[in-house]
Structure 1
Amino acid sequence: MTTTATLTERYISATIRSLAPEVQDDVRAELEGSIADAIDARLDQGEAPAEAERAVLTELGDPGILAAGYADRPLHLIGPKYFLVYWRLLKVLLWIVPAFAFAGVVLGQLLDGAPTGTVIGTAVAATIGSIVHVGFWVTLVFFILERAGADTGVKWNVDQLPEPTQNGAGRADAIASIVFLALGVGAVFWDALLGFFPTGGAPIPILAPGLWPWGIAFFLALFIAEALLAVVVYAHRRWTIGAAVVNTLLAVVFAAWSLTLLVRGELLNPEFLSFVFTDNGVTDETMRILTVITGFCLVAFPAWDIVDGWIKTARARRS
């Protein structure tokens, strides 16, 4: 004949079954004593034995959680000891790795001469894959550190406190934009009048002569608009959504216009390309690769400028 185990016996068994054998008896004895004392206290207050037992065990909670406390075993994936280091590293990698994966795959596919649909599909798939891999492997590493109790070696101190930031709206940014404008204008006229490469004769400009005057005037207008935007941002002491939108429009116009000229063969001087590359034995395939790399840069730099503007806007709004 078998007897039905009481709720207390069932609770204690559920608690100790996942513990190491050498501590099970001690935990059993401790729980039996504490549960009995708690039940007796409720009985003294006039509760019925069955109700008192059920109430005490309910207050103790899930036996799995209680067992984890006895075993000093975490029930969370990443605990507070590691979470901030984990979260900061994950955010940095998610900013960097997918972007480089996307850019690298796009560049590789373009150099391989893949059609547009293939380039976009492959790049998107690689980007999604990189996000999944970064999230999985970083989480797995910190999961192992959490369970092993290892020390990451990262210690916080007051020297790590960030310096106050102007969110890209400081005087230095406005000055840098104006200097960049002056250098850009100077480089355009230097290229047209003096040239950057020794030819042994008349200078051969890098930019196509057909850009003068209206094409060059358009590019210079974009440079001036960028400089004026930096001055406006500095005057307001912060980036705004309006400034970020204008910055985005300027970057998109620059990328689209310059890329269109490059594809149509109207951006770079054919005479310059012949003098530097073709006449020195550079093949058509190599020229195609150089054109792809140039086009990639004409898109990548404006894209980063757009991202940077919106990041500064977000920081300004938070502050």
Structure 2
Amino acid sequence: MNLRDVYIDEVTSRIPESMRQDVALELESTIDDMTGNDSSEAALFEALRQLGDPHILAARYANRPLYLIGPALFTQYVNIIKIVLPIAVTVVTILSIIGYLTNPIDDTSWSQFLIQAFLQTGAAIFNVVVQTLFWITLTFFIIERAVPEGEVPFSSWKPEQLKKVKPRSTSISFGSILFDIVATVLMVVLYVNAEQLIRVVTDSGSYPLLDASVLDQFFPFVIALAAFGIAIAIYKWIVRHWTKPLALWNALFNIVWIVVTALIMLQPDLLSTEALSLIAEQINADLETISRWGVWSVLLTIIIVCILDLAEGLIKAFRR
């Protein structure tokens, strides 16, 4: 069998049997036309080189794509991944962290606890990423091959939609919205479990730094504020760009957050005297200095973060 026949056999063996004879005859004629009267091996090689890989040529004859997701669906495929993957990762991260924060630490050291939590949370995130990518890819793989040629599913774009496009300078990133939600949930979990998680550990034992009775007094305000924050995050998710009403609501939320934080942090009985005494012994400082620096460090950090967040919304919404 000469090289021409080998090439033709490589092509026809990969297409439906009903097409093989016609394709074989077509290829024979094409190769003969390309080589002309030159029967040398070099001329045949050049003709076969121009025809290309028999695998690819067979796929063209069989109208069978050689890619998982084609150009017609690739944009929708990427957009779906951008939406679903962050949500899946965020949910599994929140659930993993909540699970660890609500479980007792027992005799495990903080370093061991954090390393174990990090490794298992990382494994959960890796698993959900793989699962999400697999199922989205499989879904689009099936759609790619089920939709008739020439049709583009999920595409309903019209020029009129350009009128609704907002300036990119006012857009709100999906990542920042998810960060707001995650931070709010984790802050509530930390607040509820503060007596267990925020402790001073010594050789003689561990002591809570915060007074649970003081925290309990402000618990309804914290829950209401968290609900307010999540509602604003959902509002951001819906509009996806800064508007004046959204910026004003966001500013109000940050102001209330500062006020509630100040009310809690400035409570005279918030910090445990016993825990502060242990810290004072270790760093050779008086109780008043430790208490003052600790309270104002946390409070100033919250104020700076809130001011930056509300300023971003107001600037982007009102400078247009």
TM-score, shorter chain, exceeding 0.5: yes
Q: For residue 38 of structure 1, report the CA deviation from its aligned partner.
A: 1.6
Question: 2:243 and 2:138 mapped to 1: Cα distance?
Answer: 44
Structure 1 contact 16–67 (Cα < 8 Å) conserved: yes
Per the alignment, residue 110 of structure 1 pairs with 101
Per the alignment, residue 256 of structure 2 pairs with 183
Structure 2 counterparts to residues 94-105 of structure 1, below 5 A: 94-105=85-96
Question: 2:101 and 2:147 mapped to 1: Cα distance?
Answer: 47
Cα deviation code 1:187-209 (max 9, x no counterpart): 578xx6xxxxxxxxxxxx89844
User: CA 1:27 to 1:211, structure 2 compared with 1: closer, same or farther past 3 Å?
Assistant: same
Question: 1:89 and 1:72 mapped to 2: Cα distance?
Answer: 27
Structure 2 contact 248–314 (Cα < 8 Å) conserved: no
Question: 1:75 and 1:149 mapped to 2: Cα distance?
Answer: 16
Aligned AA (1:84): T
User: CA 1:187 to 1:99, structure 2 compared with 1: closer, same or farther past 3 Å?
Assistant: closer
Matched, 1:22 2:18: yes
Q: For residue 123 of structure 1, report the CA deviation from its aligned partner.
A: 1.2
State the aligned residue count: 215
User: CA 1:176 to 1:218, structure 2 compared with 1: closer, same or farther past 3 Å?
Assistant: farther
Per the alignment, residue 199 of structure 1 pairs with none
SS, match of residue 113 in structure 1: coil
TM-score by length of 2: 0.56
User: CA 1:224 to 1:68, structure 2 compared with 1: closer, same or farther past 3 Å?
Assistant: same
Per the alignment, residue 64 of structure 1 pairs with 55
Q: For residue 50 of structure 1, report the CA deviation from its aligned partner.
A: 2.6
Q: Which runs of 5+ in 1 are unaligned?
A: 193-204, 239-319
Question: 1:123 and 1:236 mapped to 2: Cα distance?
Answer: 37
Structure 2 contact 93–125 (Cα < 8 Å) conserved: yes
Q: For residue 105 of structure 1, report the CA deviation from its aligned partner.
A: 1.3
Q: For residue 16 of structure 1, report the CA deviation from its aligned partner.
A: 0.4
Question: 2:117 and 2:299 mapped to 1: Cα distance?
Answer: 32
Which of 134, 146, 150 is the aligned partner of 1:148? 146
Cα deviation code 1:196-254 (max 9, x no counterpart): xxxxxxxxx8984435995776665445434543576579869xxxxxxxxxxxxxxxx
After TM superposition, the structure 1 stretch with the greater mean CA deviation from structure 2, 76-85 or 219-228, is 219-228
Structure 1 contact 77–143 (Cα < 8 Å) conserved: yes
For the pair shown, the structure with the greater C-alpha radius of gyration is 1
Structure 2 contact 12–58 (Cα < 8 Å) conserved: yes
Structure 2 contact 8–27 (Cα < 8 Å) conserved: yes
Per the alignment, residue 175 of structure 2 pairs with none
Per the alignment, residue 132 of structure 1 pairs with 130
Question: 2:260 and 2:97 mapped to 1: Cα distance?
Answer: 30
Per the alignment, residue 29 of structure 2 pairs with 33
User: CA 1:100 to 1:235, structure 2 compared with 1: closer, same or farther past 3 Å?
Assistant: closer
RMSD: 3.6
Structure 1 contact 90–135 (Cα < 8 Å) conserved: yes
Question: 1:185 and 1:106 mapped to 2: Cα distance?
Answer: 25
Aligned AA (2:4): T
SS, match of residue 210 in structure 1: coil
Cα deviation code 1:155-192 (max 9, x no counterpart): 14135553213246968476445433543465578xx6
Question: 2:242 and 2:131 mapped to 1: Cα distance?
Answer: 38
SS, match of residue 69 in structure 2: coil
Per the alignment, residue 163 of structure 1 pairs with 166
Per the alignment, residue 245 of structure 1 pairs with none
Aligned AA (1:96): I
Question: 1:109 and 1:53 mapped to 2: Cα distance?
Answer: 69
SS, match of residue 269 in structure 2: helix
Matched, 1:210 2:210: no
Question: 1:187 and 1:106 mapped to 2: Cα distance?
Answer: 25
Structure 1 contact 12–28 (Cα < 8 Å) conserved: yes
Aligned AA (1:148): A
Q: Which runs of 5+ in 2 are unaligned?
A: 173-240, 272-290
Structure 1 contact 78–146 (Cα < 8 Å) conserved: yes
Q: For residue 92 of structure 1, report the CA deviation from its aligned partner.
A: 1.8
Structure 1 contact 174–227 (Cα < 8 Å) conserved: no
SS, match of residue 26 in structure 1: helix
Question: 1:77 and 1:22 mapped to 2: Cα distance?
Answer: 26
SS, match of residue 68 in structure 2: coil
Structure 2 contact 261–299 (Cα < 8 Å) conserved: no
Per the alignment, residue 79 of structure 1 pairs with 70
Which of 79, 82, 85 is the aligned partner of 1:91? 82
Structure 1 contact 82–146 (Cα < 8 Å) conserved: yes
